[in-house]
A = this chain, B = another copy of it.
Amino acid sequence: MNRVYEALAHPTRRQIIALLRRRERSAGELAEHFDIAKPTLSGHLRLLREAGLIYGERHGTSIVYHLHLSLLEEALGALLEMFRIGSERSVDDD
């Protein structure tokens, strides 16, 4: 879970997620949206992959990345739950 929060901590990675939210894209397509070197982007993709937020499928020479939407929803749900937004505060506990 911690990895998810860490993954979200970088603007580039949040934008990658936003882009994949619209549709799947190859690493090269994603690269066109950023002014950073390929290895740097590849590193961000690896981090997002390790956090379980995306996964890649090789199609010929290129690798197409997809968003693991279910996991993202789960993460956000956990976030909401953690802060218990909308629920009452308990009075008696530590």
The answer to whether the Cβ of A2 comes within 8 Å of any Cβ in the partner chain is: yes
Copies of this protein, total:
2
CB–CB B21/A14 < 8 A: no
Q: Known interface pairs A9-B5, A9-B9, A83-B17. Does A22 touch B93 (Cβ–Cβ under 8 Å)?
A: yes
The answer to whether the Cβ of A6 comes within 8 Å of any Cβ in the partner chain is: yes
CB–CB B76/A85 < 8 A: yes
The answer to whether the Cβ of A72 comes within 8 Å of any Cβ in the partner chain is: yes
Interface of A, secondary structure class, is helix
Chain B nearest Cβ from A6, distance in angstroms: 5
Q: Mark A57-94, 1 if CB is under 8 A from B, else 0.
A: 00000000000010011001001101111000111010
A contacts, CB < 8 Å to B: 2, 5-6, 8-9, 11, 14, 17-18, 21-23, 69, 72-73, 76, 79-80, 82-85, 89-91, 93
